Amino acid sequence: MEILDGGIGRYLKEIGAPFQQPEWSALALMEDPSSVVTAHQAFVDAGAQVITTNSYAVVPFHIGEERFANRGAELIALSGQLAQKVKGSTSQNIKVAAGIPPVFGSYSPGDFVTADAVTMLEVFKQHLLPFTDIVLAETQSSIDEVTTIQKVFADCGQPLWISMTLEDETESPDPRLRSGELLSDALSAINLDQVEAILFNCSQPEVMAAAVTLSAKQLPSSKNIGVYANGFRPISNTIQANDGYSIMRDDLAPQDYLEFARQWKALGATIVGGMTQKLNRKTAAEFSFFLAVPTMFGATAKKLYDYFNNGFVLTNEQINYLIIGNIIAFIVAMIAIKSFIDYLSKKGFKIFGYYRIVLGVTLLLIHYFIYPLSII
């Protein structure tokens, strides 16, 4: 089983990276590339063996025709360089997948124009593939999109993975693409000599089992099958990708997604991805601060109890100092917490782990070889 990463765009938003419509995840490339590195690293740390370049939104649909013409090639190349940087910084065997998007926007098979698509896809081929190991064409909604991808990338020299998105509304033994075309017809239209894996993404977990089952029957056993499902509410075929920010499902916890993944594996899937953990560094840091509040409150109450129990009293001057001190402490704490959370969102906890290891080893050396330490 090969572990693919999850939705980098949604993760970028959750860690506080620059993010808005219509630019979506491309905004982080333009304004804060380091946040993209942080996101890739988070997926690697979580166990992903394949990370996908943050190139999904580098299309005119998201960044506009003029910006794509002026900066499209630069941003596409940057997305590959950032993923390659993460791969090069780890000893793990990580592959970088070239994220080839639906060039006219997600879930929009009716807007597809073959000649224009070829022109845009050639930009991805030229500027992204020097940094990748796999070509992953994502969220393909129609047979025309799939066959065009094959024509452009047939001679690219890298394994080609094609991922299709399915209708959410209907569960069927032969699922339909967003175009309404049957999956069985789409599989028949694919030149399997050019494709290493068939995947399904940007659809509800409930519709994926039928797609995996049909693919396992219709494809040669040498072909890999993969799934990385949506974690948010069903997407209508009439929706536009920039219509808003999809709401996460309340009934799909990480353990539920894991059960779906086990089902897909049992049916024949060999590649699984998806962000199955909603807790991120920013949330974890905020939670730790909130967790500290009752502890600090209890410690303060204990101090005050001991103070009065020993017969001491607070003068008016001391009360004034206490009020002023608390106000100043509150302001400083707010600034410190915000700065700390911003740092964690972009850099992570790694430096604090190193610091604790170095400090711990230093104290042990001092205790055993220089001067015995004791707790006062």
Domain spans of the chain? 2-272, 281-370
Q: How far is CA 126 from the centre of its chain?
A: 25
Tokens of 227: 């799934």
pTM metric for this prediction: 0.74
Whether 274 contacts 296, CB under 8 Å: no
Q: Which distant-in-sequence residues (6+ apart) come within 8 Å of 170 by Cβ?
A: 176, 207
Would you say residue 276 has pLDDT above 60?
Answer: no
Q: Report pLDDT digits (tens) over 328-371.
A: 988 998 898 888 777 765 566 667 778 888 988 999 999 899 98
The CATH H-level (homologous superfamily) assignment of domain 2-272 is: Homocysteine-binding-like domain (3.20.20.330)
Q: Which distant-in-sequence residues (6+ apart) come within 8 Å of 202 by Cβ?
A: 106, 107, 138, 139, 165, 230, 235
pLDDT given at position 169: 80
Residue 33 CB neighbours (<10 A): 18
- Residue 308 pLDDT level (bands cut at 50, 70, 90): confident
177: three-class secondary structure by DSSP:
strand
pLDDT given at position 277: 47
Cα gap 143→124, rounded to integer Å = 20
Cα gap 123→87, rounded to integer Å = 23
